[in-house]
Amino acid sequence: MLDTWFGDPESPTLGFLHLPADGRVRGGVVLCPPLGYDQVLGYRALRFVGQELAARGFAALRFDYVGEGDASGESGARNAPELWMSSIARAAAYLRESGVENVALLGLGAGSLLANEAAGTVDATALVLWDPELSGRRFLRKQRSLFELTVGSHGGPSDPDALLSLKLHAEANAWLSAREITPASLPVGVDTLIVGRRANDENPGTVRLTSGLPARAEYRSVIGQEELLEAPSALAVLPEETIAGMGDWLVERFPAASVRIDPVVVDRAVVATAPDGTPIVERLRRVGPDELFVIETGREGDLDSGVVVLQPGAAEHRVGPGRFQVLAARELAQRGYRTIRFDRRVTGDTTEVRPGEPSLIFAEEWVDDTDRLIAEIASEDVVAHAGLCAGGWVAARMAERRSARLAVLFSPNYFKTAALRAGEYSDLTKSEKEGTRRFVGVKRLLRGALPGWAWPILSRLQLFHDPAVLLEASSRHAESTVALLLTPEDQENFGAHRGYAAVSRLQGRGADIRVTNYPYGDHSLFGEEVRSAMLADLLALVEETLPRSATLAAGSRA
């Protein structure tokens, strides 16, 4: 797999090109990702699709639309539809410029609406619509409902148009609302495979589509999609049979003859500009024996500054809810800091996808990954770690393992220093969901009844989540600051585990531990208000504790 920037140098996007081992291809496939949080949930699945297509002789290109994911540009632009379409067109052009003659499009979820729109304009050889959203209007309605169910009243000021990790301008909203996949909207003269959920077979939109399919279009009803896009990332299940079927269908539409291609690989791009005119540059790297995928962000020419390592939450890749890590990295770079966001093992673009691979959430392997990263590219720097939920736990563990000037924990809820075994988090989550997890009620009763002297003893044995255990470990180095940023849900959990008493006790011993309580916000930071507030507080903490680039430091003194 090749990591590369491509497209317009003024608005580059990030791509990953999957190739057969011998470098010879029978054709190319552009993989059009979903929009919003579905893009996060489906990320590893699309990587697996890329792997499977490469094994069948294709060059498969994954990418982010400009204004989304790791690409350049701001979310919520008025011309977002134009950016989505141009991103697909540039992906197809990149494959053709690499030597690929025939190019197909494959869209997942709402990406199918975009792929269907683009197929005719990019002269696609074939089109695959995988678990497609047949109506943009219904997709947006569903996203608003999911936002209300997930965030609800915790989101802060009410926004009737709030979506899950998707920001849309009113004009882009109207454009997407008008898009539909119907017999009349399918591209003329293009072989098309539509792979829909069996549960949707009787829906009016599906019936209307399947009853009038043109001659070169085929509809397949499959099971297993719910386990991919409607499950937490740690519990997602790859629909292997469906993916294999799509790959085999594409093979039948391309000539067997193959050609060697010569793609251009670009590991550096200007993704923004600082207020003083300095370019903000992102560089792609691979680190360590597992080839951790890393993006370094900084001001052009400024390398001597503090480093902020941004940890994603759960089993998700480096982007974060509402592009939180991406926006934080670029904002910190404008202020004179070098930032690193990366994928730990079994996430994003680090390690190949293997069906059934175990989750490593709260696992020692992820702490080891970060440790290796720091040792290789930031061992001499003043470092800060910041992460959401499980990423915050990794940040705290790294502050324990190596001296760190700052550790910022967004929405922390796991306070043991003892790591979980590979796959254990998934097992615990599944048993809790099914109501089969043992001793939960007993432990909850004991937690409230234990006398003060017994609590720390049992907590040090890792029988309870005592925040004191993790906070003491992460703040033991001199001149280190640990900051906890808590939404109301996390405040309740923190207080139930005697966290505020632990902070007071540790502060009395000289530890610099800070707690910020927000009056609103959801644990996962899907609400834009709490994301903005936490980003502002992260920036303030970094500016207080880390040295910035020499150029900006001199300017501030002047």
Looking at residue 149, its pLDDT comes to 87
Average pLDDT of the residues in 85-108: 98
pLDDT at 558 over 50: no
Judged on CB neighbours under 10 Å (0-12, 13-18, 19+), 460 is middle
Domain boundaries, the chain: 2-255, 268-422+465-557
The CATH number for 268-422+465-557, chosen from 3.40.50.300, 2.60.120.560, 3.40.50.2300, 3.40.50.1820, is: 3.40.50.1820
CATH code of domain 2-255: 3.40.50.1820
Q: Which has the closest alpha carbon to 50: 35, 31, 64?
A: 31
More confident residue, 558 or 351: 351
Please check the confidence at residue 453 and state whether its pLDDT lies above 60: no
Tell whether the model's pLDDT for residue 12 goes beyond 90. yes
Alpha helices in 23-169 (DSSP H): 37-41, 43-55, 80-97, 111-118, 136-150
Instruction: Please say whether the beta carbons of 405 and 474 come within 8 A.
Output: no
Q: State the average pLDDT over residues 114-138.
A: 97
pLDDT in tens, 484-540: 999 999 999 999 888 999 999 999 999 999 999 999 999 999 999 999 999 999 999
Q: Answer yes or no: same fold for 2-255 and 268-422+465-557.
A: yes
> Does 21 have pLDDT greater than 90?
yes
Q: Where does the pLDDT of residue 425 fall: very low under 50, low under 70, confident under 90, or very high at 90 and above?
A: confident
pLDDT of residue 302: 77
Closest CA to 480 of 518, 514, 517: 514
Portion of the chain with pLDDT greater than 70, in percent: 91
Where residue 159 falls among pLDDT bands split at 50, 70, 90?
A: low
Lowest-confidence pick of 158-167, 354-363, 524-533: 158-167
**pLDDT at 455 > cutoff 80:** no
Q: Report the length, in residues, of the chain.
A: 558
Work out the pLDDT band at 158, boundaries 50, 70, 90.
low
The pTM for the full model equals: 0.93
Average pLDDT of the segment spanning 416-434? 81
pLDDT band at 557 (very low <50, low <70, confident <90, very high): very low
Average pLDDT over residues 37-54: 95
The answer on pLDDT for 81 being more than 90 is yes
Average pLDDT of the chain?
91
pLDDT at 135 exceeding the cut of 60: yes
Nearest partner of 150 among 41, 70, 245, 56, judged by Cα:
41
Residue range 382-386: mean pLDDT, rounded? 96
325 — pLDDT class (breaks 50, 70, 90): very high
| Cα gap 250→131, rounded to integer Å | 16
What integer pLDDT is reported at residue 464 of this predicted model? 64
